[in-house]
Amino acid sequence: MNCKPGDLAIIVGSGLPADPDIGKIVTVVEAVPSEGEPCWGIECSVPLLVGYPSGEKRYARDATIADRHLRPIRGIGQDGLHDAQAGHRDRPRITLNH
């Protein structure tokens, strides 16, 4: 599986055509029982377009998604993100003259 509980992940696909949620960042909450493929319960700070088996679509901040549609974001952590942002501010500014 790509993800584990607690991961931040990016949505890279779904079963919905032209899904507006591709690229959104979600929190992986828990494994969800499913038939056929591993799925996760996820939460998002902005509403996601959720498709239901009935064909209905609604917006919600939590959803279930197949593991294959998520890519975890790992390796930088909050401290690393802060360090990277601080380092960016300390770099000299380059001006291009045309």
Whether residue 3 lies inside any domain: the answer is: no
Whether residue 49 lies inside any domain: the answer is: yes
pTM over 0.75: no
Render pLDDT for 78-96 as a digit per residue (tens, 0 to 9): 555 555 445 444 544 554 5
Count of structural domains within the chain? 1
Higher pLDDT, 10 or 85: 10
Q: Which two tokens stand for residue 12?
A: 């890279």
Whether residue 70 lies inside any domain: the answer is: yes
Whether residue 1 lies inside any domain: the answer is: no
Whether residue 97 lies inside any domain: the answer is: no
Render pLDDT for 20-72 as a digit per residue (tens, 0 to 9): 999 999 999 999 998 889 999 999 999 999 988 898 999 999 999 999 999 99
Whether residue 98 lies inside any domain: the answer is: no
Contacts 24+ apart (CB under 8 A), 14-17: 14/51, 14/65, 14/69, 15/51, 15/66, 16/49, 16/51, 16/57
Domain ranges, residue 37? 8-90
Please tell me whether residue 38 adopts helix, strand or coil conformation. coil
